[in-house]
Amino acid sequence: MTMIDERPDELPETANPELERRAERRESWRGFLHAVPAYVYLIFFFVLPLGIVFVFSFASRGRTGRPNLEGWNVDGWTRLTDPLVSTIVGRSLFVAVVNTALCLIIGYAFAYWIATRPKQSTRTLLLILVLIPFWSNFLVRTYAWRMLLDSDGYITQLGELTGLWGRTLFTLPAVFLGLLYGYLPFMVLPLYAAIERIDWSLVEAGRDLYASGTRAFLKITLPLSRPGIIAGSILVFIPSLGAYVTPDILGGAKTTLLGNFIVTQFGAARNWPFGSALSGAILIVMLLATILYFRSGARTV
């Protein structure tokens, strides 16, 4: 953007390099001032809290479970290798990876279908239909599955009628179902944004050069939708890794995930330093994902 001052009579002089430099400095100062309130707020209520998680992960456990900074140690972090803990971490990673893959496969076919509808109005309408559940209360959406999967729920009745499944509530499949249901829209929206932007004449050109439909898809469509795949995968993977509400409502004792385990450390187990170390581990994964996101140039929003 060109720099234009309130005093237009000074304009012709901007050819002067000194004045130009000063104008640029003033411009950058203005930009900084616009950001300052949000910047300060986020440093105070996001960056510093993020830092304190790492500090407290090395603290010792005080009498009430609260961190005591005096006897600092690495117990919280070494406990991550404890068999019980690593089982939970492993399970959480497994659940997050599988859920991301499921959302990607189902979401891709879905987003592709919406993005390839010929009429703009149809596309808009279908997209609105995706947005509604996306905006609807997450808790209510999870609660709905608790109703359906309980002993007298419709899904259970259907399973018993066909003899295919029994009550699935409080099991891992129930958690998967809840996570897929909860996070699918997070995958569909960035995928749709990426696929809709594809220049289809490139695909046609590939087909004209005798590429098969599958080959054209793998070599042209799929690479062109990469930004959406990366953005959607991050938006599903990270929240799945720290999921708490879904496994809490739909899962049982054998499906404890990292999110539930962390909450327990701040509740019944009263071990804040260990809870901090577990949160720190998730934060490291998140920071790596953020770097990947920026490096890949996948930013669509």
Partner 1 sequence: MTLHEGAATGRRLDRVLSINGWFIFAFLYLPILVVIVFSFSGAQNVGIWGGFSLRWYERMFGNGPLLHSLQNTLWIALFSTIISTVLGTAAALALDRYRRWVGKGAFDAILYMPVIIPDVTMAVMLLLWFTQIGLPLGRGSILLAHIAFNISFVAIVVRARLANMDPAVEEAASDLYATRWQTFRRVTLPLIMPGVLGGALLALTLSLDDVVITSFVQGPGATTLPVHVFGLIRRSVTPEINAVSTLMVTASMVLVFASLAIQRRE
The reply to whether 130 sits near partner 1 by the rule CB under 8 A is yes
Closer residue to partner 1, CB minimum distance, 71 or 213: 213
Nearer to partner 1, 119 or 135 (CB): 135
Among 241, 251, 255, 298, binds partner 1 (CB under 8 A): 241
- Site residues for partner 1, window 7-36 (CB under 8 A)? 8, 24, 27-35
CB atoms within 10 A of CB 108: 21
Write phi, then psi, for 68 (nearest 5 degrees).
-120, 115
Give the integer Cα–Cα distance in Å for 178 and 187. 15
**278/213 Cα distance (integer angstroms):** 46
Name residue 67's beta-bridge partners.
61
Pairing of strands 60-61, 67-68: antiparallel
Q: Which of 58, 145, 183, 274 binds partner 1 (CB under 8 A)?
A: 145
Contacting range for partner 1; rule: CB under 8 A; set: 2-10, 14-22, 75-83, 197-205: 2-10
61 three-class SS? strand
Residue 199 beta carbon to partner 1: minimum distance, rounded to whole angstroms: 18
Task: Give the chain's radius of gyration (CA, Å).
Answer: 25
Shortest distance (Å) from residue 84 CB to partner 1: 19
Could you say which residues in the range 166-205 bind partner 1, by CB under 8 A? 181, 184-185
Question: Which of 104, 256, 276, 298 is close enough to bind partner 1 by CB under 8 A?
Answer: 276
Minimum Å distance from CB 177 to partner 1?
Answer: 10
d(CA 211, CA 154): 47
How near is the Cβ of 11 to partner 1 at its closest, in Å? 10
Does 218 bind partner 1 (CB under 8 A)? Our answer is no
Q: How far is CA 180 from CA 50, 107, 183, 215, 272, in A?
A: 28, 10, 5, 29, 30
Q: By CB under 8 A, tell whether 58 contacts partner 1.
A: no
CA distance 253 to 172: 10
| Binding window for partner 1 (CB under 8 A); candidates: 39-47, 77-85, 160-168, 219-227 | 39-47
